Amino acid sequence: MGQPVMVVDAFTDRPFAGNPAAVCLLNGPTDETWMRLVAREMNLAETAFLVPEADGYRLRWLTPTVEVDLCGHAVTCWRGEILHLTA
């Protein structure tokens, strides 16, 4: 089975508006090359990867070409998706 990746629109309450980011909730640590390929395939400004850890999640943000330290709209998308999945 593949790894689900969701596209979430931040700063809006309707589809196809706002600022999109991809969100990928991982089952565990994953190869960075694979994450870069996913980010490139999604072709959005950023893809947020949530890596589970003992006390929560580690967040990583990748563009199609590099990893970035922080991405505001991807954080908003991640938070919304986690709240949705854990409700």
State in Å, rounded, how far the first CA of the chain is from the last one: 24
Known catalytic residue: 46? yes
Please identify which of the residues 32, 41, 46, 53 carries the catalytic annotation: 46
* Active-site annotation, residues: 46
